[in-house]
Amino acid sequence: GAGVSQTPSNKVTEKGKYVELRCDPISGHTALYWYRQSLGQGPEFLIYFQGTGAADDSGLPNDRFFAVRPEGSVSTLKIQRTERGDSAVYLCASSLGLAGGEEQFFGPGTRLTVL
Amino acid sequence: KNEVEQSPQNLTAQEGEFITINCSYSVGISALHWLQQHPGGGIVSLFMLSSGKKKHGRLIATINIQEKHSSLHITASHPRDSAVYICAKGSGGGADGLTFGKGTHLIIQP
């Protein structure tokens, strides 16, 4: 079956612009996660959805970052007034959502470059 | 101090060598994950374990809960094993966003 997909694969934008990154999880997975990976670093947690609600958004760095999952499947990560420091690979993952400690399935990521 | 520490950061070995990558974590976990990331590629889950040992092909993962330590072993290493190996912990409870180590960059030379 299809895995986690993310679009676009690459996004180049200018400082101050608004961007949206999309994640399509595996069908039937109720849990969805966003992570950010800067060059040479491990990923860092941003936000976790269980169904339509954000169960944990403690990793969002500031109020310029926002994510939604209105129908419990596709999620969009939104970044306002982008800054050069936002440049990173944004990773999405999904899991069944039945319990803690589940295997997570990762998408290929969106590489965001802010000029 | 990162909650998940990996060692070594970089490892270069010859084909056929036995490889060990170590991971220590500072607080309790729901599960410990080992992941593989190829250059320019996505992340693939290798193992998820909360106790004992798991084996898949030439890969073995162990965990010692009391010592808060896990190891990933690769037997009969091959150049195609060259990748970044990342240890990550689930925090437990209902929310399970992972906390990642910085990764170990492994190069297996033919």
Distance CA B11, CA A54 (A): 38
Picking from A42, A103, A105, the nearest residue to B101 by CB comes out as: A42
- Are B97 and A109 a contacting pair at CB < 8 A? no
Residues B51 and B22: their CA atoms lie apart, in Å, by 16
Q: Pairing relation of β-strands A10-13 and A110-114?
A: parallel
Residue B19 has pLDDT above 90, yes or no: yes
Query: B20 versus B95: which is more confidently predicted?
Result: B20
- Span B50-81, pLDDT tens digits: 889 999 999 999 999 999 999 999 999 999 99
On the 0-12 / 13-18 / 19+ scale of CB atoms within 10 A, A58 is exposed
Compute CA distances A34 → A6, A7, A55, B12, B81, whole Å.
11, 13, 12, 31, 27
Which pLDDT value is given to residue B93? 57
DSSP B90: E
Judged by DSSP in three states, A55 sits in: strand
- Chain A residues inside the 8 Å CB shell of B88: 42-43
pLDDT of residue B11: 97
The pLDDT value recorded for residue B90 is 85
Mean pLDDT taken over chain A: 93
Residue numbers in A near B98 (CB within 8 A): 33, 35, 43, 45, 104
Which residue numbers of B have CB closer than 8 Å to A's CBs? 4, 29-31, 33, 35, 41-45, 48, 50, 86, 88, 90-103
With beta carbons under 8 A apart, name residues in chain A contacting B35.
106
Tens digits of per-residue pLDDT, A76-108?
A: 999 999 999 999 999 999 998 877 678 899 999
